[in-house]
Structure 1
Amino acid sequence: MKELNSTVLIVGAGPAGLTAAAELGKTLGDQVLVVDREATAGGIPRHSDHPGYGLRDRKRFMSGPAYARALVKEAEQAGVTILTRTQVTGFDESGQLEATSPTGRMIISPKALILATGARERPRMARRIPGDRPGGVLTTGQLQNMVHLHHEKLSGRAVIIGGELVSWSAVLTLKEAGAKPVALVTKYPKSESYRLFRGPGKLLFGTKVITNSFVTRIIGKGQVSAVEIENSATGQRETIETDWVVFTGDWVPDHELARMMGLDMDPATKSPKVDTGLRTSKPGTFAIGNLLHPVDTADVAALDGKHVANQVLAYLGGGTPPSDTVDLEVDSSARWVSPNIIRPGDISPSRERLLFWTDTYIARPTVEARQGGKVIGSVRTSWPAAPGRAFRAPSSILDKVDYGAGPVTLSIT
């Protein structure tokens, strides 16, 4: 069995992992190893062949494939080694990881480990949608893989389930492949994506947005022929004829390796618990990107990779974070907050922002931090909190935390 002794191992070659690799490569060069189970590095953007990538991290407006290629090139130019078709399959308490690739099995013994395994959409079966089991029922990832990587052509009508940014990405892909996206169905009162996408999307593609609705049945023998939906407010059902159904959003983290390692997990995100330096409960192990906040845009995930690099170098240099910790929790107004641990005197989180997920639209929300029943920080933002996309709030609302007074509860009202 082959043995590799890298200084830093990064699991996942998406935007977060590649950005971390490029940053660390400036100091460590070929002592940084990236492994990814896919055949090509770059993550989800490599098969999202439309503009919208790179705004926050690269200050450019790029297509997904161009963005992925740029990330890979930067990591390689920094001297980083990238192994594709390589999946981590085992871990032991000494810190060794076992991986499998077409060339055989290998043991990797890093001094520091970064988990950048990302997130995935729930497929139809995981959502427990009843009805027939025909072909033509996909997730966005499956659709984009078919169209952008394998260049398949589609025809007929398509219904998209979900109203997030990725839902409009599915609309673009369907149009490019030759299908007609006739309806986008969301359980919320309005499509979750930004207004910038909702208006032009409906106008340019003729895609009807059906709100307050959910799928009750898939219909079709062999190939899907229709989908039945129900309005949650009225109980009224309707059947839409379609040749394709694409389930979008409803993200879950790829957390199998984190759970295998026994890391402390956040029950809300089902992700590893991390502090503002993106350190997990195991010293020398870090977690970044959409493994932690499923799901945010690729450029925000990439900035996690840039943020973690200095913390990894500090760990390798013998630095230790403050031992005192305070947990961050949310009340019923939000599903989760990331990061979810703070330490006295520690670095601010990436972009000095806390990330939240909420199921309620609030145009001008107030974020409040309470500790021991007392308000310790509050801020009103000029941007909305909305379902289907991460909401960001300044981390400065935590400036008055008492590190001996127990957990902080955050609310969005």
Structure 2
Amino acid sequence: MTNGQVLTPAVLIIGAGPSGLRAAAELAPKVKGEVLVLERESAAGGIPRHSDHPGYGIRDMGKFISGPKYAKILLDRATAAGARIETNAMVTDWAGPRSVNVTMPAGRVRVDADVVILATGARERPRPARLIPGDRGQGTYTTGHLQNIVHLKHGKVGKRAVIVGAELVSWSAAVTLQHAGCKTVLMTTEYPKPDAYSFFSGPGKIMFGTKVATRTRITNIFGKPNVQGVEIENLDTKERQVIECDTVILTGDWIPDNELARAAGLDIDTASKAPVVDASLRTSAPGVFAIGNMLHPVDTADVAALDGAAVADNVVKYLAGERAKGVGIRLTAEAPLRWIAPSMLHRNDSAPPRGRLLLWSDEYVPFPQVEFRQKGKVIASKRLMWPAAPGRVFRVPSDMLRGIDWEAGPVSVGIAR
């Protein structure tokens, strides 16, 4: 590849995480022309490649394997299918509706594609975005940064850690800390109960000897040049205490990697900050699709991969001439639900991946009675046998949408009180 070269694949996939690699494996045998995957990091695989613990591949492969092994299987399947994977390839800006400029070690190239799939994933908000005051000593990391240091660079962290968050990813961070010889002395969460499934949080507290402080938040980090401790506040009593530690891990609080989506002028959902997509994973721009954790941050890697499988058939239909039918109907979430994906419907949509609408809840609601409303009228209602809970994606069967009136405008999704 030479500087100034123009590549013309049939499909360009930006991001080589689970969703992007699965989409590439599905599409490469089905389209005429090349399927090109661009990854800005030095290796493909996304977050799983530096999550060196089991728990991957359950829904999409029927396996229970480590993150690096899962990432390798996805990469091997994509390359075996004929997809072209380019790493160290940073997409810098758009050169047209389905054309991007890319900076690579060999120089700057342009890619003109018939279809673009955004699979850029999500990231945890760093400390400045969380507005945590205090000293700026070394020893504060996000989960991704921690796992990169420990599993990829084989580096060291401290000996005593406080984890901000009690989600599934928080326990993943605890596993990594244990691997690095660092004890998790406390998890802190603002919610009234741990965010992760009891299947993980119960054994996790026993395995790591970790206390989970609910209804608490960090109000200060102190120590120079290295972290020496944190101050946490009980949100109900306002009492504060100091916890000695030399490591702070900021987990959860995800935001989509949406810079390219914004630069393209795509419609962005104000609640999730993700591109607005319909059930067929089409964005507001013709020929541009979006998949994975940039739509529903943060879900498990196997669910993100299944987005990649689902988008393939819709891309094939687009290349054959199919377009979204009608102006579409918006889906919105009512409190305590924060966002919903997909957030747009068209008459000729495929069913969303796994036949599920994905939502985020800011409150714990056991056995929620979910209601769909249109023009103030309840058009569908169903009690679900699983909770809506902070820190994990809440899944609602998409067949509840069967009764919508295509002429009656937006549909809201809420929980009956």
TM-score, normalised relative to structure 2: 0.98
Aligned counterparts of 1:377 and 1:366: Cα–Cα separation in 2: 10
1:60 matched to 2:63: yes
Alignment-derived partner of residue 408 in structure 1: 411
> For the residues of structure 2 that align with 1:14 and 1:136, how far apart are their CA atoms?
27
State yes or no: 1:142 paired with 2:157: no
> For the residues of structure 2 that align with 1:95 and 1:33, how far apart are their CA atoms?
13
* Alignment-mate amino acid for residue 8 of structure 1: V
Q: Once the two structures are aligned, what percentage of the paired residues are identical? A: 55
Alignment partners' CA distance in 2, 1:371 and 1:212:
35
Please state if 1:216 is matched with 2:219.
Answer: yes
* 2:8 equivalent to 1:5: yes
1:276 partnered with 2:247: no
Is the Cα contact below 8 Å between 1:30 and 1:80 reproduced in 2? no
Instruction: Return the match for 2:261 from 239, 244, 258.
Output: 258
| Structure 1 equivalent of residue 210 of structure 2 | 207
Equivalence for 1:100:
103
In the alignment, which residue of structure 1 is the partner of 2:197? 194
- 1:330 corresponds to which residue? 333
Counterpart contact for 1:29–1:78, Cα < 8 Å: no
Maintained 8 Å contact 1:30/1:79: no
Other structure's SS at 1:305 match: helix
The answer (yes or no) to whether the contact 2:157–2:247 under 8 Å persists in 1 is no
Q: Residue 23 of structure 1: which of 26, 34, 37 is its match? A: 26
- Segment of structure 1 superposing worse, 268-277 or 149-158: 149-158
Partner Cα separation in structure 2 for residue 326 and residue 98 of structure 1? 33
1:357 aligns with 2:360: yes
Unaligned 5+ segments in structure 1 are none
Note the C-alpha offset of 1:94: 4.7
Distance 1:200 1:209 in 2: 12
More divergent stretch after superposition (326-335 vs 219-228) = 326-335
Contact 2:93–2:102 (8 Å) recurs in 1: yes
| Residues 14-413 of structure 1 aligned to structure 2 (within 5 Å) | 14-28=17-31, 31-413=34-416
For the 8 Å contact 1:163–1:186, the answer to whether it is kept is: yes
* Contact map agreement 2:28 2:82 (CA 8 A) in 1: yes
Q: Which AA in structure 1 matches 2:195?
A: E
Q: How far does the alpha carbon of each residue in 1:260-288 deviate from its partner, in whole angstroms, 9 at most, with x for none?
A: 00001110111110000000011100000
Gapped regions of structure 2 (runs ≥ 5): none
Structure 1 distance, partners of 2:36, 2:149, is 29
- Once residues 62 and 128 of structure 1 are traced to their aligned partners in structure 2, the CA distance between those partners, rounded to angstroms, is 36
User: Any idea what the Cα deviations from partners look like across 1:320-379, whole Å, max 9, x if unmatched?
Assistant: 221241100111221101000111242111111000100111110111000011110111
Query: Counterpart amino acid of 2:65?
Result: M
- TM-superposed CA distance for 1:93, in Å, is 3.3
Range 15-24 or range 86-95, more displaced: 86-95
- 1:27 is paired with a residue of what secondary structure? coil
1:32 deviation in Å?
Answer: 0.0
Q: Equivalent residue of 1:199, what SS?
A: helix
Q: Distance in 1 between matches of 2:213 and 2:230?
A: 13
C-alpha distance in 2 between matches for 1:379 and 1:57: 27
**Offset of 1:30 from its aligned partner?**
6.3
Cα deviation 1:275-325 (Å, max 9, x = unaligned): 000000111000000111111110110000000000001111111221241
Q: Given residue 124 of structure 1, which amino acid in structure 2 is its aligned partner?
A: R
CA distance in 2, matches of 1:94, 1:351: 30
Structure 2 distance, partners of 1:109, 1:131, is: 47
2-side partners of 1:172 and 1:95: how far apart?
Answer: 41
User: 1-side partners of 2:76 and 2:97: how far apart?
Assistant: 33
Coordinate RMSD, CA, aligned: 1.0
Q: Could you tell me how far 1:26 is from its partner in structure 2? A: 1.9
